[in-house]
Amino acid sequence: MADTLFLIAGGIIILSLFVAAIRFFLGPDPVDRVIAFDVLTIISISLIALIAHEAGRGIYLDVAVVYGLLSFLGVIVVAKYLERGL
Amino acid sequence: MVRKIFVIILLIGLGWFFYGMADSFHGSDSLNMTASYYAENGAEEVGAANLVTAIVVTYRGLDTLGEVTILFLTAAIAAFFLKSKEEFSKRDVKPSSELLQTAAGMLVPLIFVLGVYVFVNGHLSPGGGFQGGAIIASGLVLLLLSKPLQKVNSRFFALVESFSGLFYVGIGVAGIFLAGGFLDNSILPLGEFGTLLSAGILPVIYILVGLKVGSELSGLLTKFQETQEEN
Amino acid sequence: MEVLQITGGFVSLIGAVFLFLGSLGIVRMPDSYNRIQTGTKATTLGTLMFLIGVGLYNPSWFPKLIVLIFFILFTNPVSSHVLARAAYSIGTELTKLTVVDKLKDSRGEDIDA
Amino acid sequence: MLSVIIIIALTILVLAAAILAVQTTNLVVAVISAGLVSLMASVGYLFLSAPDVAMTEAAIGSGLSTIIFFYVLNRVRGKDHG
Amino acid sequence: MKNLFISVVLLLSVWLLLNASLSPVVIVSGLIVTAIIAIFFSARNPVFKDMKLNPKAIIYFFLYFFVFTFELFKANLDVAKRVISPKLPINPGIVEVRTRLTSKIGRLFLANSITLTPGTLTVDIKNDSLFIHWIDVSSTDIEGATKKIVENFEKYLEVIYG
Amino acid sequence: MDFGLVAVVVGFLLILIGIWGILTQKNIVKIVIGFSIFDTGLHAIMVGIGYLKGRTAPILDSAVSPADALTSIVDPVPQALVLTAIVIGLGVTALMLAYVVRLYDYRKSLDISSYEDLKW
């Protein structure tokens, strides 16, 4: 029962990964692509949690913590570059 | 145009070559000889739960020493090439928003704690000196992003870097006299498997590697940041 | 235990649905600011609920998940604020549906004064 | 079953982002796409049971490389590219 | 001193949560690491010095947390409604609101709360004025917008951070 | 489906894309980006070679005991090598970008065809 629910949730996450990637490849401005990049990294955190759950290894969550840091830092670097404040 | 045709022909040739390699690739079912030695004896000999760490720090420890040296040389050469011609003190940058400065003030200590966690637990969980050093350098970058005109004391990085490198080599030489060889980790007792204080001197080596890599990458990044000029 | 696991499955399913709505929002919305809005809100709650669901299934993972949840809850709004500010300062256009733009008015006053 | 779908999705995303990074004329988009290649590859490394490599690729390949690229882009910012 | 104490407590709790254990070795090493980092940073950047530690502030902190969670759920249902409906019912604009909060950390939490609540996003901050992108503008003057967006959180944050 | 084979194929394709970028692009920064994609492809191949079907990460904890490590973990040696390679890759990228900055100072151009001094 619970495994089926996680399977469906995983399918929806993959679908949203593709939908966000559409905006990344389409996006007219760099700003739009940065938003899509941010959303893609945050979806990847969920994906890592799902992989850790499937593999049954809690230590994979360390990678997710590093991801959370990087999604923040990457967006800020690009934003500061765009507004000429680097 | 002729150039692109040549490139396409070259890529098709390389692709054919790669296809042959990928076609003959078949995953094996068991570990090869070296890997099965590490898998069988790594936990007893080194006492580290993370076998990748055991290989990086102990079995192939000399490679890691060389790698840290290469990184040091890279940082030094890049700093030499980026040497600024004059003082760029009159830079005109758009200041950060107040919210980012406050958030950076709260987050930077947290990021440093995360980096220290990653390299102290290198023998138990994924991560280690290189990753922890990179996280600490990212924390420094966040500080620089929130206040771009702030001066960073690069002599402090040089000091930390030299001392950790010195102690790293010192522990390696101490291994020759007190234990089996260069960078042998059984100078200290191995301790109980799977706890924070285990695997002999290995956590100390990884802490030193983390400090060294962190200060090297911080120095490299501040060098890139300092050469921004008004344009 | 069974009840806890099924609850975890449902919570993470709802989280995944919110993630999907967030990514649908960044495709459908007409301008960058509205995209930032939907992108931030829906993905924050979606990730949060997914992580809580995984934590309900494996209760021993909760400490690390709590750090992750608070980190996301704190950093996500800050990064979207910085991005929105950068987008405004390089003159990203607002959509034609926009009703009022007080920030432009105040910037005009600054130049006059 | 789920893992097969995930690995196919990651493969498509990595290759598409790599082609975008090489082909686009806007340097900002190229650097962000190169960062996306590293990021998706590092999720893939978790599937290959290599969490150490995944963490290194995320922290160094995607994080610090992108930061250095943007510092250099800001330094060489001219009129002909954005 | 208060700043140093709060920093050490926060960082130590993060360290313990990351290690997920309470053995003496972990606690001692955590104390050493967090004390060094906190002393290093709190001298030049005292962020927590405006925080209050009386019982009323702690009670209000929990109240604020519940209000915030409720608003977060409301925001997401709002986003879901707007994204799903085929007509895309938006009426966006940037409005100006004023805040009474003076401490920096209080303003940071206010801006974060505004960003995560229904249909609003903090675009810029200048002294006391917050400029907010609102997805469904219902009042364009400063007082009306302030009443609708800010006051719900301000009454809690004022007690916690002053 | 063998994930190791998938990783090897993706790695080869990334190498081809990277070489295409290095050889056809005119902008120096784009050439460096092509090199970094090439690098990622190499790492993917090495990790893919070390993967064994149905096994887990080489970290021994409550999920994997030291006794049955031989039959349940993947090959740790390629992972240790890739760890080194990624860090060196960052160093090489930083060095190339320092040269880019120096070249730009010298001639105020990022186009590779304006540097013809050594061409014969």
Helices D2-23, F3-24: inter-axial angle, 10-degree rounding: 10
ipTM of the complex: 0.90
| Cβ–Cβ gap E116/C64 under 8 Å | no
Q: Do B109 and E104 touch (CB under 8 A)?
A: no
Predicted local confidence at residue C113, as pLDDT? 32
Mutate: best of C61, C64, C85, C107, partner B, most B CBs <10 A: C85
CB contact under 8 A, B25 and F5: yes
pLDDT at B91: 65
Of B126, B217, B229, which is closest to D51 when you measure between CB atoms? B126
B87 has pLDDT over 70: no
Please state the pTM of the whole predicted model: 0.91
Contacts of A69 in chain D (CB under 8 A): 63
* Chain D nearest C-alpha distance from A1 (Å): 16
**Minimal C-alpha gap between F15 and chain D (Å):** 10
Q: Do B152 and A83 meet the contact criterion of CB atoms below 8 Å apart?
A: no
Q: Is F27 left (phi over 0), alpha (psi -120 to 50) or beta?
A: beta
Query: Under an 8 A CB cutoff, do F16 and B15 touch?
Result: yes
Tell whether the model's pLDDT for residue D70 goes beyond 50.
yes
E122 vs D19, more confident? D19
Please determine, for residue C96, whether its predicted confidence score (pLDDT) is greater than 80: no
Residue F61 lies in a domain: no
> B85 falls in which pLDDT band (50, 70, 90)?
low
pLDDT at C108 over 60: no
Q: Closest chain F residue to A57 measured between Cα atoms?
A: F63
Q: Work out the minimum CA distance from A72 to partner chain C, whole angstroms.
A: 6
How confident is the model over D47-71, as a mean pLDDT?
Answer: 88
Kindly state whether residue F66 falls inside one of the protein's structural domains: no
Distances (CA, A) of B79 to B222, C57, D82, F91: 10, 50, 26, 12
Q: What residues of chain B lie within 8 A of the CB of F101, using their CB? A: 81-82, 227
B167 has pLDDT over 80: yes
pLDDT at position E116 is: 82
Average pLDDT over chain B reads 81
> What is the total count of domains within chain D?
1
Per cent of chain F over pLDDT 70 is 98
Q: Which is more confidently placed, E10 or E161?
A: E10
Mean pLDDT for F40-63 is 83
Among B125, B28, B32, B126, smallest CA distance to F70 is for B32
To the nearest whole Å, the CA of A11 is away from the closest chain D CA by 7
Query: Which pLDDT value is given to residue D82?
Result: 45
Query: Which domain does D55 fall in, by range?
Result: 2-81
Cβ of D40 under 8 Å from any chain A Cβ? yes
Q: State yes or no: pLDDT of C107 exceeds 60.
A: no
Alpha carbon distance C29, A19 (integer Å): 13
pLDDT of residue D81: 47
Instruction: Using a threshold of 3 CB pairs under 8 A, tell whether chains E and D touch.
Output: no
Predicted confidence band of residue F120 (pLDDT cuts 50, 70, 90)? low
Structural domain boundaries enclosing F33: 3-53+72-114
Instruction: Say yes or no to pLDDT of F63 above 80.
Output: no
E19: exposed, middle or buried (Cβ count in 10 Å: 0-12, 13-18, 19+):
buried
User: CB distance from B35 to chain E under 8 Å?
Assistant: no
Query: Would you say residue F20 has pLDDT above 60?
Result: yes
In chain B, residues with a C-beta closer than 8 Å to the C-beta of C82 are 96-97, 99-100
Q: Which residues of C touch A3 (CB under 8 A)?
A: 9
Half-sphere exposure of B196 toward its Cβ, with a 13 Å CA cutoff? 20
Q: Name the residue facing B148 among A59, A72, A85 (closest C-beta).
A: A85
Domain assignment of residue A10, given as a range: 2-84
Residue B208 near residue B164, CB atoms below 8 Å:
yes
Give partners of A (≥3 CB pairs < 8 A).
Answer: B, C, D, F
The residue extents of the domains of chain E are 2-44, 55-161
Whether residue B151 is predicted with pLDDT greater than 80 in this model: the reply is: no
Q: Comparing E162 with D25, which gets the higher pLDDT? A: D25
Residue F38 binned pLDDT confidence (cut-offs 50, 70, 90):
very high
Q: Quick check: F84 and B67 CB within 8 A? A: yes
pLDDT at residue number C99 = 67
Q: Per mean pLDDT, which of C33-42, E14-23, F23-32, F110-119 is the most reliable? A: F23-32
> Could you give the CA distance from residue D24 to residue D30 in angstroms, rounded to a whole number?
6
Torsion of CA B32, B38, B40, B44, to 10 degrees: 180
Q: What is the DSSP string of E57-93?
A: HHHHHHHHHHHHHHHHHHHHHHHHHHHHSTT---B-E
Q: What is the pLDDT of residue F1?
A: 67
Domain count of the fold of chain F: 1
Structural domain contains residue F64: no
Range scoring the smallest mean pLDDT among B73-77, E39-43, F74-78, F81-85: E39-43
Question: Taking residues C47-54, what's their average pLDDT?
Answer: 89
Residue D79, pLDDT > 50, answer no
User: Are F60 and B49 within 8 A, CB to CB?
Assistant: yes
* Per-residue confidence (pLDDT) for residue B220, from 0 to 100: 85
Assigned token pair, E125: 């901050």
B112 touches chain E (CB under 8 A): yes
Q: Which residues 182-221 of B are in CB contact (within 8 Å) with E?
A: 195-197
CA separation, residue B222 to residues B85, B149, B157 (Å)? 16, 11, 10
Q: Tell me which chain C residues have a C-beta less than 8 angstroms from the C-beta of E16.
A: 63
Q: What is the mean pLDDT of residues C69-93?
A: 85
pLDDT tens for each residue of E12-60? 888 888 887 778 888 888 888 888 888 888 777 777 776 777 777 788 8
* Low-confidence spans in chain A with pLDDT less than 50: none
Window from A11-25, A37-51, E89-103, F6-20 with minimum mean pLDDT: E89-103
Query: Does F41 fall in a domain?
Result: yes
